[in-house]
Structure 1
Amino acid sequence: MTRSSGVLLHLTSLPGPYGIGEFNEHAYACVDWLARAGQQYWQVMPLGPTGYGDSPYQSFSAFAGNPYLISLDALRRDGLLSDQDLSGHPDFDHDRVDFGVQYTWRNGVLRRAFEHFEAGAGAGLTGDFQAFCEAEAAWLDDYALFMALKDAHGGRAWNEWDREIRTRQSAAMAAWRDKLEREVRLYSFVQFLFFRQWNALRAYAHQQGVQIIGDIPIFVAMDSADAWANPDQFYFDAEGQPSVVAGVPPDYFSATGQLWGNPLYRWDVMQQQGFRWWIERIQGSLKLYDVIRIDHFRGFAAYWEIPYPAENAMNGQWVPAPGHALFEAVRGALGELPIIAEDLGVVTPDVEALRDDFGLPGMAVLQFAFGGNDWEKNAFLPENLRLNQVVYPGTHDNDTSLGWWHKAQEHERRHVMQYLPDASDLNFGWRLTELAWSTRCVLAVAQLQDLLNLGSEARINLPGSLGAHNWTWRARPEAFSSELARDLRALTERHDRLPR
């Protein structure tokens, strides 16, 4: 990376006519806006299909794309949908995503697009669809069958299915593939549509000089095609039930820790297999993103192991992980990779060594910089930041900067004023962004909410919760104003972060 900057905005937060951000004209307009504003990076959250809780960090697949992001108007232009298919749609909220409505209404619309395709619409896509299925068979076959099986089992998690299919007995697999052949083809077709549209949007971003930073969680969801199709890679018993699960101990975000519930990797098995699964996963991520931000990077040095079942994450232990061997294998197979290490939280010397030995940029959050008694030594203060680091006013796991300012303790506000003496409710999100841009860090990234100086009502996630507003915030079209692009470009130029 060269000295640069970018904006963090998940695709579901974009404007659009059907209740959620899509790969539509607003996504292309966002790319244009980023380019006018002098931004070289657009950071998004994981793009996988979401399930219970709607979190992009708990996906049905580490390889698949989220059907909710498919532009329905583009499908109409392709001849896969008619005006009638899109008429009479629900009265969508332009400020919040209703994932329940998306699940029922949008999935029905995508099914109609598939039925039209099967009846001969969009005939020019047939060859491309077949080629996609062949090229992506390594993950697509299992994912499409997994989703069809979930439907056939009333949406239940795979470890609640009958034993024969839960444990992938060959006779059961063959019988279900035959029985669900059409549904499997439907799920494959929807993935084809996702990647076709995303690849076009990403190519357009590249033409405008914008690169995509994509987020991949270190762990996969328990209820995922990855866990079901690769049971030997996880701590499962003979019945497909987990013996231990993932989380983090008590920290800044939660007094009882966070019980994520993800299955934990059998690192010994993965290492014996040359970390094949991880190499394939990163290859898959590079088909989506230009730069990969690995969430919870510290789990590659040691991870928090929680016995299953558990009520919270307090009763766990740190267990070492073979991070060095993993990244050596990945580098040997794929070369040097554009990876950002999310090294927030409990960062120990082994985590720092793993990050630095592979030259990976870590992260810094300015909202964390102003607390504590010995705050002058805080690693996130601007003067203590490193060159090989990505700095944020706040991330999707934080309150907006203005929301944080409203809740900050008196000593934090006093410390902030030493850096930003003119900060106020009217400008705090922007002023903290200016401070981030002024640092020595090679890359500075701000949430759109902070550029707009929005309060807690625009927070997109509260970690460790299933809050009604998590992941639902949406921007209005007027958020992408020419005035904000002008001001952001001027800020970027002032701090020597414009494209060279």
Structure 2
Amino acid sequence: MSNIETAVPKTTFKRSSGVLLHPTSLPSQFGIGDMGRSAYQFIDFLAQSGQAWWQVLPLAPTGYEHSPYTMNFSAFAGNPLLISLEQLEKEGLLENDELKTLPDSDRINFERVVPHKTQLLELAYSRFVPDESFEQFCHEQAYWLKDFALFMALLEAHGGATWTTWEPAIARREADAIAKHEEKLHSKIQFHQFSQFKFFQQWSALRDYAHQKNISIIGDVSIYVCHNSSDVWANPQLFKLDPETLEPAFIAGVPPDYFSETGQLWGNPVYDWARSQATNFEWWIKRFRATLQYVDVVRVDHFRGFEAYWQVPAGEPTAMNGEWIKAPGVEFFETLKTQLGTLPIMAEDLGIITPEVEELRDRFEFPGMRILMFAFDGDPNNIHLPTHYVPNSIVYPGTHDNDTAIGWWTTASDQEKQNVLQYLGCDATEEILDIHWQMIRLAMESRASLAIVPLQDILGLDHRARMNDPSQNAGNWRWRYLSSDLLTPELSRQLLEMTEATHRIVA
């Protein structure tokens, strides 16, 4: 894509805007957002509001604490919790009286949702008759689906215990043990294939509908994967593991930063990049290809990890005692470009960013991110101030890792508030009642070619609607809005008028 402006450097995106909302945050009767009616209504809202983009978080099946970033069972699979039960009913796989609803809440109760929805998916599977389209799906996706379905069946057979505690023969994937368990767990394996088949069917239909409405989807590649995943179990040679125990020898994270004084210790194993290089990055190429089955543009989370990554010895209580290790970013992205052609990639370049990281980003013309909530510390050279934006960038009031605009404003220091008021041209004594719209306007008016706004800010919600607080592990990823009626014509019109006024409507 090319920028509508001609007197500025090349950009990845036309001047446009969109909304950040993870599908789990959509309304539904079943305690968690899904790919049913409300997802289509949300796309309608985007189209009516002049938006060109829907940004989602990783769509993979989640494990501990349900983080879509750090605890996924696969980097390739879709999350079965997003499957619309109503659509399964339309196919005759469920009966209407079987669709028991869960109490409405703006917080996902995973302890209730997971068993409830899993039971109904298993019931739908019991009535499913494999056909040619299912067999074709299993064949086309076999490069990841075969390992994933077997891994999930084994995980259940072992009561959820980490794969390193399984019998050594299957933990180390000996051929005889694989064949034995494939036969023994055939039905469970096919259930997971069925769940992925239905996820892909429903997501493909939803994405096609978005495209019909001229909405494109931005999705994430989270740089790291969970140790207790089919990815690590099937490819242990690609990670720095203890050869005896197969447990991580080093843990990924970041040193002390804006979010945490002791850094962030994510719990994921780090990559043995030399092994990936030796295969011409085969696993990574497959991963990007798989992601582009879901989305149109990939936001590379923790982009700086492709230039150098923070490695902490296993057993450390915090991320403070780690070290930076160089990664082969240039070679990887060159290989990816050779394999895939033009790279539809955005770089999440937040945190400790060095000139080397900026050089890697700019070499491939990946747009970077700017966050308005980081802008008002009083430093005139702060790169998050709109004054300093380059067109080839993406601006957010805040991301899923930040508080909402209203939540941020209520906890901002007096000095920070004064800096905001000064930037907005307001009187220092003036009380701003619509700070969320002021932040949206700043993002929309900026030179950044793409502006993305969390739905929470469009709805004017406070800190209770925050999606994730990186400084704590528990209780995140649970927010959802309760009704599509909240996406009112008045709200749509207000967003459309701002989008038009800031020249972000894509012709």
How high is the TM-score relative to the length of structure 1? Answer: 0.96
Distance 2:167 2:440 in 1: 53
Deviation, structure 1 residue 127: 1.5
Amino acid at match of 2:99: L
1:256 matched to which residue of 2? 262
CA contact (8 A) 1:426 1:453 kept: no
Q: Which residue of 429, 450, 453 maps to 2:457?
A: 450
Q: Which residue of 112, 115, 119 maps to 1:108?
A: 119
Amino acid at match of 2:308: A
Indicate the SS of the match to 2:380.
helix
2:352 matched to which residue of 1? 346
1:285-342 CA deviation, whole Å, 9 max, x = no partner? 0000001001000000000000012211111000010000000000011111110000
CA contact (8 A) 2:122 2:191 kept: yes
1:122 matched to which residue of 2? none
1:5-26 CA deviation, whole Å, 9 max, x = no partner? 0000110001111111111111
Determine if the alignment matches structure 1 residue 27 to structure 2 residue 34. Answer: no
Deviation, structure 1 residue 424: 4.4
1:385 matched to which residue of 2? 389
Indicate the SS of the match to 1:444.
strand
Q: Any stretches of 5+ residues in structure 1 without a counterpart?
A: 119-124
Mapping for residues 382-461 of structure 1, pairs under 5 Å: 382-422=386-426, 424=431, 426-461=433-468
Indicate the SS of the match to 2:66.
coil
Indicate the SS of the match to 1:315.
coil
Q: Which residue of 48, 58, 62 maps to 1:36?
A: 48
Deviation, structure 1 residue 436: 0.4
1:337 matched to which residue of 2? 343
Q: Which residue of 37, 44, 50 maps to 2:62?
A: 50
Deviation, structure 1 residue 259: 0.6
1:222 matched to which residue of 2? 227
Mapping for residues 144-163 of structure 1, pairs under 5 Å: 144-163=149-168
CA contact (8 A) 1:20 1:474 kept: no
Amino acid at match of 1:316: G
Q: Which residue of 97, 105, 116 maps to 1:94?
A: 105
Indicate the SS of the match to 1:117.
coil
Determine if the alignment matches structure 1 residue 81 to structure 2 residue 121. Answer: no
Q: Which residue of 316, 327, 330 maps to 1:321?
A: 327
Indicate the SS of the match to 2:506.
coil
Distance 1:478 1:307 in 2: 50
CA contact (8 A) 1:95 1:476 kept: no
Amino acid at match of 1:100: E
Q: Any stretches of 5+ residues in structure 2 without a counterpart?
A: 1-12
Amino acid at match of 2:92: G
CA contact (8 A) 2:109 2:478 kept: no
Percent of matched pairs sharing the same residue: 48
CA contact (8 A) 1:97 1:474 kept: no
2:499 matched to which residue of 1? 492
1:121 matched to which residue of 2? none
1:381-413 CA deviation, whole Å, 9 max, x = no partner? 111111110000000000001111111111111
Is the alpha carbon distance of 1:410 and 1:159 closer, same or farther for their aligned partners in structure 2, counting shifts above 3 Å? same
CA contact (8 A) 2:28 2:482 kept: no
Determine if the alignment matches structure 1 residue 141 to structure 2 residue 146. Answer: yes
Determine if the alignment matches structure 1 residue 60 to structure 2 residue 37. Answer: no
Indicate the SS of the match to 1:256.
coil
1:480 matched to which residue of 2? 487
1:121-146 CA deviation, whole Å, 9 max, x = no partner? xxxx6211111001100000000000
Distance 1:153 1:426 in 2: 54
Distance 2:133 2:431 in 1: 54
Amino acid at match of 2:78: G
Distance 2:454 2:162 in 1: 34
Amino acid at match of 1:446: V
Q: Which residue of 296, 305, 323 maps to 1:299?
A: 305
Amino acid at match of 2:344: P
Amino acid at match of 1:436: A
Q: CA RMSD in A?
A: 1.2
Moved more, 166-175 or 186-195: 166-175
CA contact (8 A) 2:308 2:326 kept: yes
Amino acid at match of 1:199: S
Distance 1:162 1:474 in 2: 44
- Count, aligned residues: 490
Deviation, structure 1 residue 262: 0.7
Is the alpha carbon distance of 1:464 and 1:230 closer, same or farther for their aligned partners in structure 2, counting shifts above 3 Å? farther
Deviation, structure 1 residue 175: 1.0
CA contact (8 A) 1:246 1:262 kept: yes
CA contact (8 A) 2:253 2:266 kept: yes
Amino acid at match of 1:114: Y
